[in-house]
Amino acid sequence: MNDSNNGNPEASWSRYRELVMRELERLDGRIGSTSDSVKAEIAATEKRISKRLEGLETTQRTIDRDVVALKVKAGVWGVIGGAIPSIVALAFMYFKKGG
């Protein structure tokens, strides 16, 4: 460095400072472009996750409806299952007394 500046330390420092500033600007540009690509990737990932969540919500609603329907059916079958022995017992008592 000193050869091109004829031993002037101030000129040498100015040149060094200029090179450092250029490198910092270059790196800043690379960081900015990397940051933009990361932001774009995050946005794309958020969209994919959002679509999957919508699908899961739809599936959850379907499962909830199915569970409610099964509870109703189980209740109906429970009533029928409980009524059969009662009806048989009443019929047995009726025929025993009347028959």
- How far is it, in rounded angstroms, from Cα 3 to Cα 75? 98
CA 42 to chain CA centroid, Å, is 13
- How far is it, in rounded angstroms, from Cα 44 to Cα 38? 10
How confident is the model over 46-79, as pLDDT tens digits? 999 999 999 999 999 999 999 999 999 999 999 9
Tell me the whole-structure pTM to 2 decimals.
0.49
Specify the amino acid at residue 84.
Answer: I
How confident is the model over 11-35, as pLDDT tens digits? 788 888 889 989 888 888 777 778 8
Q: In the structure encoding, which two tokens stand for residue 51, read together?
A: 């679509």
For the stretch 3-40, what's the b/e string if a residue is b when 16 or more beta carbons lie within 10 angstroms of its beta carbon? eeeeeeeeebeeeeeeeeeeeeeeeeeeeeeeeeeeee
